[in-house]
Chains A and B, each alone.
Chain A
């Protein structure tokens, strides 16, 4: 494509190039790692940040959203550590907690030693020193994707979790990422492998102050045959933050994934999900809820790749928008040749609460096998006047009636969480937004 030729660079692109030049020699990973990082960064240096002329970024113009590149986060000061502790979400949820502050592992806030039996937890920085490709090469996520490439180029810390074959992890693991202090950029990576027949519940949270950080996180989740994982993500970044996230999942035979994300924070967020069914008869439920007001921007981009036969995928995404907020949903179900008996359903709904809100949806089907049942739906609309009238006629004021209906709307997603304290925590977050409506 001629989009590759871009002699004029934006401030953010120049900033990224300078930052990479400055840190590349000091980044962990040895010689192999340096090569992988150089290769990854080359795609950014040559193409620049993706803009709306690139199809996958049509509605989320990263070049426009990222005006400048924030400096890489420095070492965490004691004051920042204290501030971070106050920003940790979901205190009531029982889980083993590992905390990253500004992208760096914070051992004093983490329970690194308390891993349930059969579960190995280790810092990614250790892995980078030992076997860099293992930590830097991510199967299942397109390496030339801008967010993946940036993460590979810059990531210095993160976490590796391995659940042994047949082990049902006795405690949920909560990986909390907190951004605090001066505006900075931070990169994080969480690599999880779940052995054959094993199961685990993971909680991923992102929170922080409103200084206008830039975060780029990548989660790689590998489920072996018959493995099961529940993944709950709370994105509650400060309202100035640019949150860029990638989730890459590979499912083995009869594996099962339940993934749910609540997007409550950030100025602009893009969540990419690449999910591949590698074996037969696996199941994935991928869902998300989000709400935004002001001029915030929420993007969910999803590719469900059916390679194995007889797999079932269900996707449900709901967004409520107020002010001049904008939501983007790009979802694609791919059924490869031979992936017979695939059952895929995808639904995206956007609720527009104000005149200036905007919703864009692009649900795609790409099907190369005939014996399949696939469908998708998308709706965009305001609150049903009749429902509102009904509630108002029962004596509820307009604001409360609206709140109730919005809560029911996003509640359909949140209620899929089985763990009660976790579900309550997310519900409470949704209620708070409805009161405040940023």
Chain B
């Protein structure tokens, strides 16, 4: 298996205590005053040149947020977040109008090059034949450059920063924004609704199969800024789109807050595949610094035969609070959730999914693989529910946890709620460690203990890795090995 060989080589070459992506790009940035008030919201909205209704929407959310309490039910522990000490908007100066790649600050391009993002079209074309990726890179809060726009335009696919969509396609945004994750949904989603600065917008028209994978790379750069992204993807009748999201953040001492919202809408016969590789800075070995990742992701299978599939590889962030969910509203719709969550050091992960069966003959599948090492805590929390009218709802859930070391914790908190007798729900979960036999076998074949762990873990998560688009699968495999570095011996 050459991929494994490569992984092993990569693990060896990297000293993981040094976060690979921990560099700061020195660019002048334009940011809002510290703290959060109606003025901050107005400032952001004005900066974006948003229509009046959008400002009102934000202000409603802001006022609502002021009355809400931060949720405390997740198994994560962190000091109080000083919401008044954060900056809620930060944009690279002069970013209001890069129209082509040549206009983009070369410093930015170099940052992405370090991250290995194929921002330049020719790089991609030279790299992978046939499979092409359109990147909407989000540098702190503003989409800097969007590639492949032309080709997508020919297919009728709209792929642009959401701020641009608000200008160019306000009717679409207004029709769908907040219909899956309402502005009042939860503390972090409401905060996002008030102050979100940018994000991606995708609309795939009727019957169109999006000609390429769409991708966005998030990156938090500015010190003390929250990253509040909002992504809205609409797949109209009979369409298909695959969307990739990747995240990295430079190394910072303070904890940074990231509260994104992702909304997916799949109409009749449409399919959305959403993949995430998240490797925000997890903090150092003592738990200092790192990203607080409080994300609300939800997909709505609004039409008949719609399908939404979430795949996530979570290796980063000091705290992950994330439950990508599917509302299976349309008859015969299907939801899938594939997850690998790896925690090391002092990371805390509380992640899982919700499958809410409302329509008839809906089905869902959950495969979750949690790996905890070091002194980390890793929790799977999921809900599968069938409404009284959701006849023939089907669910299969499999949660496996792997423990590496005796200082970490792995927890499983699934909820099953069946309100119809025609529902068939199956849930199974196991927790174990890498057995001595497996290790002995590998080492006896000449692998070092770290190589053996990488091999076994890659086997453990294989079911999920297979769901990732090819480019991501390779990267994810490397990430898994890197994030487990130092967990044995």
User: Given the known A-B contacts A372-B433, A375-B431, A376-B428, are A367 and B403 also in contact in the complex, defined by CB atoms under 8 Å?
Assistant: yes
Closest chain-A Cβ to B29's Cβ sits at a distance in Å of 39
A residues lining the B interface (CB < 8 Å): 2, 55, 337-338, 340, 350, 352-382
A27 to B426, CA, bound (A): 49
In the assembled complex, which residues on chain A have CB atoms less than 8 Å from the CB atom of B422?
A: 355, 382
In the assembled complex, which residues on chain B have CB atoms less than 8 Å from the CB atom of A382?
A: 421-422, 424
Q: Is B414's CB under 8 angstroms from A362's CB?
A: yes
Closest 4 CB pairs of A and B: A352-B421, A370-B403, A375-B430, A381-B424
User: Given the known A-B contacts A372-B403, A372-B432, are A363 and B418 also in contact in the complex, defined by CB atoms under 8 Å?
Assistant: no
Q: Which of B143-151, B235-243, B405-413 contacts A (4 or more CB under 8 A)?
A: B405-413
Cβ-defined partner of B415 (8 Å) among A353, A360, A368: A360
A407 to B76, CA, bound (A): 44
Closest to A361 in B: B416
Closest chain-B Cβ to A361's Cβ sits at a distance in Å of 4
In the assembled complex, which residues on chain B have CB atoms less than 8 Å from the CB atom of A368?
A: 408-409
Cβ-defined partner of B73 (8 Å) among A55, A340, A366, A380: A55
In the assembled complex, which residues on chain A have CB atoms less than 8 Å from the CB atom of B200?
A: none
Closest to B386 in A: A380
Interface size class of B (residues with CB under 8 A): 35 or more
In the assembled complex, which residues on chain B have CB atoms less than 8 Å from the CB atom of A381?
A: 423-426
Cβ-defined partner of B431 (8 Å) among A55, A356, A363, A367: A367
Closest to B402 in A: A370
Q: Which of B401, B415, B421 has the most CB of A within 10 A?
A: B421
Say whether B12 faces chain A, with CB atoms less than 8 Å apart: no
Cβ-defined partner of A374 (8 Å) among B414, B423, B427, B431: B431
Q: In chain B between 41 and 59, which residues have their CB closer than 8 angstroms to a CB of chain A? A: none
A352 to B425, CA, bound (A): 11
Q: Is B406's CB under 8 angstroms from A340's CB?
A: yes
Q: Is A378's CB under 8 angstroms from B431's CB?
A: no
User: Given the known A-B contacts A337-B406, A380-B423, A381-B423, are A365 and B429 also in contact in the complex, defined by CB atoms under 8 Å?
Assistant: yes
What 6 additional pairs, Cβ within 8 angstroms, besides A359-B416, A361-B414?
A: A355-B422, A358-B417, A358-B419, A365-B411, A374-B432, A381-B423
A97 to B427, CA, bound (A): 42
In the assembled complex, which residues on chain A have CB atoms less than 8 Å from the CB atom of B403?
A: 367, 369-370, 372
Q: In chain B between 384 and 416, which residues have their CB closer than 8 angstroms to a CB of chain A? A: 388, 401, 403-416
Closest to A384 in B: B424
Closest chain-B Cβ to A339's Cβ sits at a distance in Å of 10
A365 to B419, CA, bound (A): 24
A213 to B400, CA, bound (A): 44
A369 to B409, CA, bound (A): 7
Q: Is A365's CB under 8 angstroms from B431's CB?
A: yes
Say whether B420 faces chain A, with CB atoms less than 8 Å apart: yes
In the assembled complex, which residues on chain B have CB atoms less than 8 Å from the CB atom of A371?
A: 406, 433
Q: Which of A369, A370, A374, A382 has the most CB of B within 10 A?
A: A370
A340 to B432, CA, bound (A): 11
In the assembled complex, which residues on chain B have CB atoms less than 8 Å from the CB atom of A350?
A: 418
Q: Which of A353, A354, A368 has the most CB of B within 10 A?
A: A368
Cβ-defined partner of A377 (8 Å) among B69, B388, B411, B427: B427
Interface CB pairs A-B, < 8 A, 16: A353-B421, A358-B417, A360-B417, A362-B414, A362-B415, A365-B401, A367-B409, A369-B406, A370-B404, A374-B431, A376-B427, A376-B428, A378-B416, A378-B428, A379-B424, A381-B425
Q: Is A374's CB under 8 angstroms from B430's CB?
A: yes
Closest chain-B Cβ to A238's Cβ sits at a distance in Å of 27
Q: Is B427's CB under 8 angstroms from A378's CB?
A: yes
Closest to B424 in A: A381
Closest to A321 in B: B421
A340 to B431, CA, bound (A): 13
B residues lining the A interface (CB < 8 Å): 69, 73, 388, 401, 403-433
Cβ-defined partner of A364 (8 Å) among B408, B409, B411, B424: B411
Q: Is A363's CB under 8 angstroms from B414's CB?
A: yes
Closest to A335 in B: B431
Closest to B431 in A: A374
Closest to B416 in A: A361
Closest to A351 in B: B421
Closest to B72 in A: A1
Closest to A377 in B: B428
Closest chain-B Cβ to A305's Cβ sits at a distance in Å of 14
Closest chain-A Cβ to B406's Cβ sits at a distance in Å of 5
Q: Is B69's CB under 8 angstroms from A2's CB?
A: yes
Closest to A344 in B: B431
Q: Is B419's CB under 8 angstroms from A375's CB?
A: no
Closest chain-A Cβ to B360's Cβ sits at a distance in Å of 13
Closest chain-B Cβ to A197's Cβ sits at a distance in Å of 32
Q: Is A379's CB under 8 angstroms from B425's CB?
A: yes
A251 to B429, CA, bound (A): 26
User: Given the known A-B contacts A353-B421, A379-B425, are A365 and B416 also in contact in the complex, defined by CB atoms under 8 Å?
Assistant: no
Closest chain-B Cβ to A275's Cβ sits at a distance in Å of 19
Q: Which of A363, A365, A375 has the most CB of B within 10 A?
A: A365
Closest to B391 in A: A355
In the assembled complex, which residues on chain A have CB atoms less than 8 Å from the CB atom of B401?
A: 365, 367
Closest chain-A Cβ to B352's Cβ sits at a distance in Å of 12
A371 to B401, CA, bound (A): 12
Q: Which of A362, A374, A380 has the most CB of B within 10 A?
A: A380
In the assembled complex, which residues on chain A have CB atoms less than 8 Å from the CB atom of B409?
A: 366-368
In the assembled complex, which residues on chain B have CB atoms less than 8 Å from the CB atom of A357?
A: 421
Q: Is A380's CB under 8 angstroms from B424's CB?
A: yes
Q: Is A366's CB under 8 angstroms from B416's CB?
A: no
In the assembled complex, which residues on chain B have CB atoms less than 8 Å from the CB atom of A356?
A: 388, 421
A124 to B408, CA, bound (A): 44
Closest to A360 in B: B417
Q: Is A359's CB under 8 angstroms from B418's CB?
A: yes
A367 to B423, CA, bound (A): 30
In the assembled complex, which residues on chain A have CB atoms less than 8 Å from the CB atom of B410?
A: 365, 367
A367 to B432, CA, bound (A): 10
In the assembled complex, which residues on chain A have CB atoms less than 8 Å from the CB atom of B407?
A: 337
In the assembled complex, which residues on chain A have CB atoms less than 8 Å from the CB atom of B421?
A: 352-357, 382
A392 to B418, CA, bound (A): 27
Closest to B430 in A: A375
In the assembled complex, which residues on chain B have CB atoms less than 8 Å from the CB atom of A352?
A: 418, 420-421, 423
In the assembled complex, which residues on chain A have CB atoms less than 8 Å from the CB atom of B427?
A: 361, 363, 376-379
Closest to B409 in A: A368
A398 to B229, CA, bound (A): 57
In the assembled complex, which residues on chain A have CB atoms less than 8 Å from the CB atom of B408?
A: 368, 370
User: Given the known A-B contacts A370-B404, A375-B429, are A380 and B418 also in contact in the complex, defined by CB atoms under 8 Å?
Assistant: yes
Q: Is B416's CB under 8 angstroms from A360's CB?
A: yes
Closest chain-B Cβ to A60's Cβ sits at a distance in Å of 13
A378 to B404, CA, bound (A): 26
In the assembled complex, which residues on chain A have CB atoms less than 8 Å from the CB atom of B418?
A: 350, 352, 358-360, 380
Closest to B405 in A: A370
A341 to B18, CA, bound (A): 35
A356 to B422, CA, bound (A): 10
Closest to B436 in A: A371
Q: Is A355's CB under 8 angstroms from B420's CB?
A: yes
In the assembled complex, which residues on chain B have CB atoms less than 8 Å from the CB atom of A374?
A: 430-432
Closest to A376 in B: B429
A21 to B410, CA, bound (A): 46
In the assembled complex, which residues on chain B have CB atoms less than 8 Å from the CB atom of A377?
A: 426-429
Closest chain-B Cβ to A100's Cβ sits at a distance in Å of 37
